[in-house]
Structure 1
Amino acid sequence: MTTTFVSPRLLMIGGGSVGRLAEVLGQFGLSKPLVVTDPWMVSSGTVEKALAPLRGAGIAAGVFSDTVPDPTDTVIEAGVAAMKGGDYDCLVGFGGGSPMDTAKAMAILGAAAPGVKMRDFKVPAQANRAALPVICIPTTAGTGSEATRFTVITDTERDEKMLIAGLGALPLAAVVDFELTFSVPPRTTADTGIDTLTHALEAFVSKRANDEADEYALRAMRLIAPNLRTVYREPSNAVARAAMMKGATLAGIAFSNSSVALVHGMSRPIGAHFHVPHGLSNAMLLPAVTEYSLNAALPRYAEAARAMGIATSAEGDQSAGAKLLQELRDLNRDLAVPTPGAFGIDPAKWDGLLTTMADQALASGSPANNPAVPDAATIVSLYRRAWEG
């Protein structure tokens, strides 16, 4: 059996590493970056952590900061116009998943022929070409986008979150500096943390799992599970922040080479229709979806529980699986994850969109990777269980 494995050509991981950004660019002969970030990174001055070391090396960077929390095709088109309007030789995605996903999508769309839309790259299409190389600098420990061949973009005409996959979305390099996460507020820390745990768990139980991706998924779970509550309660805990940041990148590598599954397939429509942050919608779904899937891959879920440290090596699979389900419920309680209703979603609108969301989840392809593959009716029932919490 042959396994294809992809990852960025360079990963620089460690506290203070953002200060070496110019060095990273220099290794690839790059000197004219367009930094893709968000308005808060600019207004707060946080983007200076990337721009200052570039200026110190004599590199004048452009800035595109019109990104939005759930990247849209219209923002990507504006970003491509900015990219083509300057003499740039690379993109630097600086921020959470949205700026990084935006930079990756800009690189893909920028390489396309005139008239091609972002939706033309939606899976199962392969987005393998990029106009410029992308260097990613995450400021949250969650999405793993700095290490993946995926980007998620909302089609504004169809109100649909599109999964876009291919080598064109794979960053050339990533600078992973946990010190950038110290100022992340507890709610975002929790949401992105559960997102990265979901990446690792789904990569491990996916029908497309493989030995190489498994190693990264297990290592990620060993780092994330003991530290997620700590970073939520102790934002300045450097040891826990470093573990979460590394875990997020490892989980990104894992699912980039395996896949995500039903949780992510169901999560994207919630984000598209109700603007729930991606990690939070994952958290709302994770216990119910895991319970539905458990017996279809019990040995795998049990091994994940052992990697997370919530079951011992001596315990049987049934006991370990039960402990995993309880841990996911307890984690949502401890991290104050709301139900969709408590988040503020209108129940009538939720019920009215369940069939549409189920169809969109199936169309994404991710549910087909799940250990138990649902039909639309099953997905609707799982959305209802998530509503009940």
Structure 2
Amino acid sequence: MAGRNHLYIPGPTNVPDAVLNAMHVPMEDHRSPIFPNLLKPILQDLKKVFGTETGQTFVFPATGTAGWEIALTNILNPGDKVIIFRFGQFSHLWAEMAKRLGFDVEIHQETWGKGIPLDRLEQRLREDTEHKIKAVLATHNETATGVTSDIGGVRKVLDSVNHPAFLFVDGVSSIASIDFRLDEWGVDAAISGSQKGFMLPAGGAILAFSQKALAAVQTSTYPRCFLDLKDQMTANKDGYTPYTPNLPLLYGLRKALDLLLEEGMDNVYARHYRLAEGTRKAVAAWGLKLCAQPGFESNTVSAIVVPEDKDAKDVISTAFKKYNISLGAGLSEVAGKVFRIGHIGDMNDVSMLGAIAGVEMAMLDCGFNIQPGSGVAAAIEYYRSTAKA
């Protein structure tokens, strides 16, 4: 098929040409005297994206999933109790990992389409008078359902009941795209991945830790080796890594950070809001609904519920085979019930209009009762009325 595949999934996202070009580098000695000139500024500029002046950032040659494990095993001790609300596939997987690693995992089920219920969290933490809960695992952006939770609200809950638990945040599909404030929100461990808002290939676990968390690393007795933060801290202070880094990914990350910081993080967040809001206008014009309930809508991915007599997999398949558009599938409990449009990373208004048009054509082909052009028209009017000259 002529033309490129149009990638509208919530990750991996489109890699800008400037980043691809930056990654096209010959191999070099990662123990040379000049390697710190690459790594040290990257780690410093990452702090601007995570919203921290006092925390410390790290890049592991791994994935966001490894980032979950890094936070759990470096800060906690074997058998520690953690609490998590399960409201999507990725909060589910994080909980399952914690169980497999031997932690005492307290799972609270929540409706898929909602985020962390602050009132229920507060009630449970108040009950924990002996402070047996050592960490709250919070999924900031649940990619499976297009739901964003209020992490600042989680911190307020912890503070209101004077609970000392660590706050771990899965920001894989939010950081570098949705407003994130590690210092202000008192986040102890923030986890992201290279293939989402950082607009890179998969293969980089990008993290930030508070000083409180880093102090706990020194006393944690959990066995670890490749994912040990202490090894990273020792090597990073001189601008090196404890083992062979992914050099092309680091050069790509350097360029991605340049692009993000040149645009300005507030502008990045505002752009993602506009892209998402235009998509939401289209969904409403189609007469469909989001999986996310009001107040929880994500600015990086929209999960769209299909009518009961339709299968979302048919929309995804038609869009791919007929129009060369990649959409996200529903996962686990929402498989076949939703399809997902990613509006994250290297995207603009026209990019999103292409996604909306392609989805509209695929739904019409699948017999959806929608008015041709309705979603595109709604998005166009929103983007035109909010665009800056």
Q: TM-score range by the shorter chain?
A: 0.3 to 0.5
Which has the larger strand fraction?
Answer: 2
Which has the larger helix fraction?
Answer: 1
Computing the radius of gyration from Cα coordinates, the structure with the larger value is: 2
Given the two structures, how large is their TM-score scaled by the length of structure 2? 0.39
Highest RCO, 1 vs 2 (Cα 8 Å, sep ≥ 6):
2
Given the two structures, how large is their TM-score scaled by the length of structure 1? 0.39
